[in-house]
Structure 1
Amino acid sequence: MKDESRCRIRQLDEATIGRIAAGEVVERPASVVKELCENALDAGASVIDIRISSSEGRITGITVTDDGCGMNPEEARLAFFRHATSKIREIDDLPACTTLGFRGEALASIAAVSRVTLTTREKGTAVISGTRLVNTGGTMSGAEEAGCPAGTSITVEDLFYNTPARRKFQRSRAAEIARITGTVERLVITHPAIAFRLTVDGRERLAVPGGGSLYDAIIHLFGLDLAEGLVQVSADGEHVGVRGYLSVPDISRTNPYQIYLSVNSRPISSRLLISAVRDAYGTLLPGDRYPVAFLDFLIPGTDIDVNVHPAKREVRFSHEHDVLAEITALLKEALSSRVLIPGKDAGAAAQVAAGDTLTPVRYRPPDSGTTGVREPPVREQLLTGRQLRLTGSRLPLHGLQEHEPGRIPELRVIGQLGNLYILCSTPDDNLLLIDQHAAHERILYEQIGSWPAFRDCAQELIEPVVIRLSPREADLFSVALPLLKQEGFLIEPFGPQAWAIRTVPVTLGKTADPDTVREIVAELIAPGFPRGSDAAEHLRKIVACRGAVKAGAVLSPEQCDQLIRQLRTTENPYTCPHGRPTMVVFARKKLDELFRRT
């Protein structure tokens, strides 16, 4: 007789299965908003209203209301069952499925870890009353008739009440709201004809009227300045079609956070697709820069698999290599046929997008000029001089007392290579190359760290820099405001989703470049930016980088000597704050060997 008590494998009960499955679909409040909004879109909604409530630093309620087809009482009850869906009937329907959802998991997963109230009435019927159902932790706890408009409204409360570990590891209220805003932004971009409204604690964060095009949605979310710097893309290949907009090379970011991609109007995350988009620019962008992009890839359903990720954020392609290569080729063609390198008026790209003609501006490499150290233009010389005087002054920075004389030998400046490297010879006839930007970045970084208070070294701008952010960026920026104030930035609201920056760290000067300030903000709100005590340290590295002598700046012989003298005063003259070397030496003996001198 078999001893059942010795069997170590058990079949889990339904409640446990439900909570485990919910963890795959519902990671955080933004996941709830995504799933409910996608259900609303699949239901044919033209208006979607999202309301968020919070208390004591966390999100306490989420309500998504739509004017879609609604449900009758029987459908409403079935909606809470796992794998109950109106999208497909059998597995063979999946390749032809065009809806955002298809598994029938969303509502069941949400209800398994929260208290859900569903109110719905079917559209186009003579029935005047709707249905209200309450489901707590996966168990139906209330059902009644209710007066309501056609469509569906779902309220989620006490999220993760029965999974305390998941609740504990949620991020701050501001961070979670920023994620929700980002989720809604992506849905607005992929469905610009739909009206969206997002309110948080009664305050409107995002409102898009719908009925417009992708270009209208971009203007609404990101402003006209960005939209005018975009090039329209509409191209078809053998395996993929591409629709959307790309930024001209003048507009770029330090990371790919503003590359918005979708496949058949489904927002997705894909490093491979981001790489394909970036590759289309080739040498039009520096290797560490990314464009701004809003692109939808049209691929037959039989050639993709969207059932590879619990939250449907990833897809697989049956002809992956061909699809990626074709995307790069189509985008490269779009860029080269419109604007290769834009002029000062980036808005010209918008004219091209609208169908106007524009002669492409071709790139011409700068004249390398003479060798050695040449005199820079007056304006450039003044900027470099100001940067070096700042780090060479004694107050408020520490004095120029050399650390351990002899660590850097006496050097004779030979010239400048590519406006990047200072060429020097040592007393031993070795060749030493100094990266001018990395060296000055190290000097600035150490001096900034010696200031008693970073804000005491703030500089008022002659003309305030005004930046406009998308709703998601604005939410993330609000989290960073205390840190920025602590580090010398004076920032004031300047209209909807806009801020005026009036003071900056003195390293950035009295006339800070708006693009420089925008880049600092972009790094602050980018995914992966450290929080807590590491945030201030990281920000100082960014400011040192932005305030340092630029790669490509022409230095006079005196300025080269001045930079070397300042580098000698640092505690670590060998690397920049990011760990790159500031100098490289080529020994005379090695050079002789290369020329076979013995």
Structure 2
Amino acid sequence: MSKRVSSKRRRPTTQPSSSGETASVDDDGGVEASSVDSLGFRGEALHSLAQLSDLVIDTMSMSATSGVTLTHSVETNTTTVSASVTRTSHGTTVSSSNLFARFPVRRGELQRTKKKQLQDTIQLIKQYALSRPDVKLILQHRLDAADGAVVTLVSTSGSGDLQRSLGEAYGGRIVGSMMHVHWASLPHCEVSGYIAPVGGGRTTSDMQVFALDGRVVDLPKLAKTLHDTFLEAHPNAAQRTCPAYFLSLKTDGTAAYDVNLAPNKRRVLLQLEREWVEALRREALRMFKTSTDAMEITAATKNAVARDLARADERRLSLTLTPVSATSHAQVILSADRRSGSDSLQPSGSLRKRERDDGAPLGLGMSLPPDRRLLLDDDDDRDVEVTSNSVVDTGAEEEGDEQMIVTDEGLLDYYLHRRTARFESRFPDLSSLPASMVTEGASQSVESVEQSSGNKKNKTTTKGGNKPKKISKSINAQTDDELNQMLHKTDFEKMEIHGQFNHGFIVASLGEDLYIIDQHASDEKFNYEQLCQKYVARPQPLVKPIRVAMEADEALLALERAAELRAHGFIVQRPPDHDGAPGGSNNLAVTVASVPILPYDTVVPQDVCELTAQLLQYQSIVRPLKAVWHSMATKACRSSIMIGAVLNDKMMRTIVDHLGTLDQPWNCPHGRPTLRYLGSLATFRDDHQRID
């Protein structure tokens, strides 16, 4: 920029056409057309900005030793040049203040919509940061015009790496959810960048950026192609979502295009637009289809499952500290539900009061400190007291609550692990308990009682138990490569069926991974794809043909491709009063003599425009009407296995095997997932062994 603003300028930079090819004007203001190599809006940016605000340009060219400050006055339409006392480095700084100050109406509109204008500016700077990752961009906002704090909204390093610029502009989370693409099949053009796979769409189109040779541009036909292929790969569940992408198009110098159509130069005319659309559709469809062939089970998913198990485990335990008299011994009470008579804690006289020496350890445990009583509440009615002195029955016959006093820390830990299990009729001998039962979690629980011996306040809840800690440790010990995995369509036939849950879900496993499969959604998706494959449009003749207005090119194309439209149930004809005049108004309409008949939807003659739009853009009909999608999905839903149906082993095996034959088995046509990851069998098996 410093090279453009030099002392050799014949006219000030704030004058019209002073910073482009038309800057070399003669004294009369004329321009030599032969000296201009291109057409367009040249040299108008600074001039326009100077007319709308107070403009100050502080510049220092590469060959100069001092800076120059240019101040433009709108009232006198003059530019004052003075020596800059603050400029010490080469470059140019353009400062604009009091925007629209001389235009009250536009100034008021700016004040009213300032928040929206700021958001639009942020999005624009982010887009330019992706189009030119080699340029350092910083956007700062002052909260108060006087002395408010300055907040940095966008900051890029200018490293030249698109991935890094994407992370700096939109955040690392966006980078992690996108796939890198490089497509070289477009004629005289290479496409590279990042695009979100199926399932990663957004509700808005704010993250759709095209950069053509480093310039942010709007390419509506290419954008519509990506949107249509996105819906085609995931038609019904993603109809209300938009794909997110940041794509850079680099031509080889032979692809002709014109950007001089609008002052912002975002509108572009492409000579090879049709070829680019076809090639982009093939590449995008291949990429989207590939992303639906497998489902990724990430480390975050597995960690979330582990955390849910841990939280559920912690909720089952509540260690309550209750003050007792100073002369009593510390007691730990484990409460459990009153079950049936067979689950009673009265083991036919096998429980007896056992005495031991005061303070002596029993088995693997150690004596508990006095003056404290620890209550373990499991939303139950039965109590088991663990003290440091004895093992006694505390009068279950009198109170109706069966209580038993057990001594030993290992036995305390044993009961902590059995909190969700049904109590056995006998306690195991303390000598038979393994040393592993004296775990860190129980030790910490007992230590918390010792440390709070002086506290006489309300009861204190302490999160305890070993299972949450073990889950966290086992998950953290694994690497992301071990936790991340892909579930492919071919894996369904390898799954082992364990049974049906709640008459609505199939429990299956693949190796050590446990899944729950929705029987209705799975059967619905199979029926849906079968109906779509077998669908043949049945035309319903109309009593009177309906005239449908179209654009001239669409009407001509519909008449030329009438056979393809007939295959989809529409019979289009030339209007009967058509006079054949190429410029006549009849060229803007066709008559529709039949429409397809569907079981759950009604198709109107105007729906033929949906198919002609595909013919105009893709030169073929790439997908049926949206009404066909909805009708097939409704029919598949109502004819599928419902929730509540009892399935035998053969039926469950058939449903799971069918998922492996589908084009996209991960959700039903209405978006309901067909399966969910439950967790690792190793974790469940370990928990079960501890309970047993």
Give the TM-score, by structure 2 length: 0.39
Q: Higher relative contact order by CA 8 Å / sep ≥ 6: 1 or 2?
A: 1
The TM-score, its normalising length taken from structure 1, stands at: 0.45
